[in-house]
Amino acid sequence: MTQPGSGPDSSGSLPDQRRPLPGEAAPGVVERGSFGVHGSGDTSGFGGLVRRPWAAPPAERPYGEGFDEVADALMAAFPAFDDAVSRVVIDRGEMTLHVLPEHLVELCRTLRDDPALRFELCVSVSGVDYLGTPDRLHSVVQLTSMTFRRRIRLETSVPVDDPHIPSITSVYPTADWQERETWDMFGIVYDGHPALTRILMPDDWDGHPQRKDYPLGGVPVEYKGATIPPPDERRDYS
């Protein structure tokens, strides 16, 4: 059974079901893409993003939700806490310690080994690029205590012209491939890593694709000489 409007018209031919090209929309109709983008042909929506600087404020005692117990245990086990941690952030039920690079490995070892902490599992090491900030490259370590069913995040930031952070593979061997991926995508150099090589991109690839100043398109690929056009040059499917 055909739906109304889906069958042939009076001339016996099927109606034109293709999507309208840019500029063919009915009068008064505004075609919009992601993030409210319209009129540019940008199918990704990135061209319509507006950067709004934001950072969670440092937390103050009491932290609540069991975070005070973690902080007290860490301060007791790691006397250099005040020198190592530049700020503590409690946001959306999660605890983040912003750690200076030179203290990262020893802090991880304390979090893993101290009986009152026992963060035995390194869940992930990942990167973030806060373009426009002095120390724009952030390395983020997610730790879990299987013993006490707790999670904590360690965040270390470095400038793009000196992106060196100590590797934590001596404490958490599972960080090996995770640090390799972060190096590959963001260019963060993990000093002391056993084999810091690319893991996703070809060995001779130029640049780090997840940095915010990396081009969105127009990058030559290795298959039949094809290229990826920039978003604003792709067909508008709205």
CATH number at residue 131: 3.30.460.80
Total domains in the fold of the chain: 1
Domain assignment of residue 8, yes or no? no
Domain assignment of residue 157, yes or no? yes
Domain assignment of residue 163, yes or no? yes
Domain assignment of residue 210, yes or no? no
| pLDDT by position in tens, the chain (length 238) | 444 444 444 555 444 444 445 555 556 555 566 666 666 666 666 666 666 666 778 899 999 989 999 999 999 999 999 999 999 999 989 999 999 999 999 999 999 999 999 999 999 999 999 988 889 999 999 999 999 999 999 999 999 999 999 999 999 999 999 999 999 999 999 999 999 999 999 999 889 999 988 877 666 555 666 766 766 666 655 4
Asked whether the CA dihedral 172, 174, 177, 179 is positive or negative, the reply is negative
What pLDDT does 149 receive?
A: 95
Domain assignment of residue 19, yes or no? no
What pLDDT does 231 receive?
A: 66
What pLDDT does 30 receive?
A: 56
CA-based nearest residue to 123, from 99, 102, 150: 150
Structural domain that includes position 74: 67-191
Domain assignment of residue 202, yes or no? no
Cα distance between residue 230 and residue 209, in whole Å: 14
Domain assignment of residue 205, yes or no? no
Q: For residue 189, what are the CA distances in angstroms to 44, 99, 138, 161? A: 30, 16, 11, 11
What pLDDT does 57 receive?
A: 85
Q: Are strands 150-158 and 94-99 parallel, antiparallel or unpaired?
A: parallel
- Whole-model pTM: value is 0.75
What pLDDT does 211 receive?
A: 93
**What residue ranges in 73-169 does DSSP mark as E strands?**
85-91, 94-99, 121-129, 137-145, 150-158, 164-166
Domain assignment of residue 101, yes or no? yes
- The DSSP output letter for 123 is E
What pLDDT does 14 receive?
A: 46
